[in-house]
Chains A and B, each alone.
Chain A
Amino acid sequence: MESHSESSLVSELAGLLKDTPIPKELEVTILPFENDEDVNTSSFMKEGVHLGIHAPNVPKLARAFRKIYYSLRNVAFDSIDSKNDSMDNLMDCISCLLLLCPDHATAWADRRRCLLKRVSALEKKSVTACMLIFWIAELGYITMLFTQHSKAPNAWGHRRWVCRQMLALFSLENRNGALREDWHPSESIIQWATLEIAVCSVIAETYPKNYYAWTHRIFVIRTLANIMSPSMCTKNDDNGRENIKAVLETEASLTEPWLCRHVSDHSAAHYGGEALALWLQVGGGSNVTRKWKMAIVQGKLQESRRLIMKFPSHEVIWTWRRICSKFCFVTFTKEEALSFLQEEISFASSIFDEASSNDAKEIEMQRLFSMAYVVWILKYARECDFDLISLMDEINVIKGRVRQMEMPKSVIQVLMKLG
């Protein structure tokens, strides 16, 4: 009887996952049942694209799903001629289990085994469009999962694996000929990238500083940058290259507006650095000039200055300036870099001297971050083999400032080693 009840739980939830409209949002919470009878008989609720699982029932549900899962996986994979039914039942069970245990590595692995079996059947029929729809549907399931569980490393790893299956499919198209005369694989890749970036963006808005979402976004733009290479793009795909460049330029330009709305988002600042590096690498085309790069970097410095004027007591805003300054040392000549250092010392010192707020804590933070920034770029410059002799007067002033404040020992240690 218990087994029948457990199976019916899987059937019920799997049915809700497959019935249209396909769920796009998941919530594990205390569901608003209208009467006591429903609380005792149901663990799920679906309204439109919103799927809810009753949180107090999670222990019971997880045990039930696991029990069915372990019994099914033996049957599905041990049998030489795996029947579609047992594979389908296993897939349904995994779909349910992962909603509660999104980091279950073995369940994800079994899910991949099931997916590969299914897609190989489509491959035999050479229906590429169906295969694409198949993988897009899988991405949809993962996206739904992320609305409740955005920090499960194995879920993100699975998403990347699915993306690689799709990218291989696009390459296959390239190798086996286009669907139509004017079709290029870069078109599909851009559509894929746009979808992935949108998903990462929504997650980052809902769950700020989400390490996995931003890391995945880096994976996406790196994939785009890689296919800019001549060996990847077809010969006459200038349109594709321009479209890819447009995506990369957009990504490289989103840091300031994002940080204005999410001032503490270090992941976004780091992403901004990676996106800028890729844009500098591919944006200028084959005739990229130092002048073009300098203009981009100078633009970033101006953005960063605006952010600091708005949010001078936020660590991440100063971190973004550190990232921008890194590009200066790579792009500028030695003379330009030394001049830049002097300007930075002057700028940070003005922030230090003019720190004002009704909140004493904010003033303290502003002074701490401005001086820490100066010490940081001086150290970075030293590591880049810049001679700081001409800046010793300024360095001594900074040492004086640092002595007046209660600076962390780490800052003092680094500053003293500058000479």
Chain B
Amino acid sequence: MSSSIPFYHNLHVQYIQSLASKIDSPTSYEGAVTEHLRMSGIYWSITALSLLLPAEQVDQAMNLTSCCNIENTSTSPENKTTEGTKNQSIVDFVHDCFDESTGGFGGNKLQDGHILYTLSALQILAIANALQEDRFLQIKRKVIQFIQSLQQSDGSFAGDKWGEIDTRFSYCALSSLSLLGALNDDSNHTVNVQKAAEYIASCQNFDGGFGCHPGAESHAGQIFTCVGALSIAKRLDLLRDVDLLCWWLCERQCDSGGLNGRPEKQADVCYSWWILSSLSILGRVDWISKKKLASFILKCQDEDDGGIADRPGDMVDVFHTFFGIAGLSLLGVLHEEEGGILKVLDVENGEEGGEERKAQYRRIDPVYALPTDVVRKLQLQGQIWNPNKDSSLVDDRLRSYSIYNGDM
């Protein structure tokens, strides 16, 4: 039985495409207060659109690798203003955010390097297939050294030189190094991956969950960063009691079908990602009600202007739009063949067009939060937990990862 609410393909595409001009508008409230994290905002919009459109269309629509407005897209000093990405490609913008003094990327131009925005920058470059460009290869060593400099003696990672520790930063560091192909680079003495994994494991609480550091309250977002990091490090064996952890995650499903981040909090679309990705890695997505969750996400769409909000009726934003689409992808409903529970509404081409769109949708990878074709192309490493011991039950998108079934 299909959901009565369709997936508004055209509206979401239009919403994402219109973001750049809206956000950089002088009257935009959202743009004004989120300027410092523009890099992450661009990552969310590019990746969301990449799930809905082929790579070439994304490139053209978002000026990803070239800007059709001007001929010269080089990163000259004159371009280093803080006025968004006008008149330059996204890749140019990313390079303009490189902080030479630290070796990391800032959230926008003229900002200090930070691990959060370094990951977002690398994710954008990965989608744009720009990690092998000469200008990136020239700074690659510095980026690796920046990440390396953030690891502490106990294996944890700071966000920048000022030393605030958070398990989010562990995930960002390991994911970044993996994107750079520098995770297991013994000759260059990069980070101590084993110590990083052991530190993350030390953050697991008695309830099975993880917080921002040892002893901190379990939080679904932090759980994803820890499980994701352990997957990249191929140390899922360090998890204590996976059933307990997955049960904690599943207890986040509310009556509405949505997921919350902690007990007795309101459901929020972004947890569709944080929780589903963790359950995907740990092989227990079927422990939650997928239909109810899909229905909740669809109710969070803006049926007039596109985009997805945190919960039904609220204002949309790019963050929740990305995680809502990613959640539908992870649930599989965005990729089901004809007759599935999700109907795609393509106002230009009718029902048949909707099914064609669906067939072209790209899948998202739960470990790296990137399209699976990008992950495969870069041959990124990861590990999944397969409780079934039958590898044929493993989701297609995870088959390239090593499998751990708890026997070690």
Contact = CB atoms under 8 A, between A and B. Distances in A.
A270 B218 contact: yes
B112 A161 contact: no
A166 to B, nearest CB: 16
A63 B29 contact: no
Contacts of A211: 217, 219, 262
Contact of A209 (B33, B216, B265): B265
A100 interface: yes
A140 interface: no
Interface string A258-288: 0000001111001101100000000000000
A32 interface: no
A62 B247 contact: no
Given A322-B207, A409-B287, A410-B247, A215 B33 contact: no
Contacts of B162: 108-109, 112, 157, 161
A251 interface: no
B164 A161 contact: yes
Interface in B81-130: 82, 106-107, 110-112, 114, 116
B202 to A, nearest CB: 15
A266 B248 CA distance: 13
B338 interface: no
B226 to A, nearest CB: 15
Most buried by B among A109, A266, A274, A326: A266
B32 A62 contact: yes
Interface in A216-233: 218, 222
Contact of B264 (A61, A100, A107, A315): A315
Interface string A181-192: 000000000000
B340 interface: no
Interface residues of B, number: 50
Contacts, number: 132
A44 interface: no
Contacts of A215: 211-212, 216-217
A184 B166 CA distance: 33
B264 A266 contact: yes
Given A62-B32, A266-B264, A408 B253 contact: yes
Interface in A273-332: 273-274, 314-316, 319, 322-323, 326
Contacts of A70: 82, 110
Interface in B273-320: 284, 286-289
A408 B106 CA distance: 43
A73 B110 CA distance: 10
Contacts of A54: none
B247 A105 contact: no
Q: Which 4 pairs of residues, A with B, have the shortest CB-CB distance? A: A410-B250, A62-B32, A264-B264, A157-B164
7 contacts: A101-B36, A105-B111, A106-B110, A106-B112, A109-B162, A383-B241, A414-B244
Given A103-B36, A211-B217, A222-B215, 6 more contacts: A59-B29, A157-B162, A157-B164, A408-B253, A410-B246, A414-B243
Interface of B: 26-29, 31-33, 35-37, 82, 106-107, 110-112, 114, 116, 159-160, 162-164, 166, 206-207, 211-212, 215-219, 241, 243-244, 246-247, 250-251, 253, 262-265, 284, 286-289
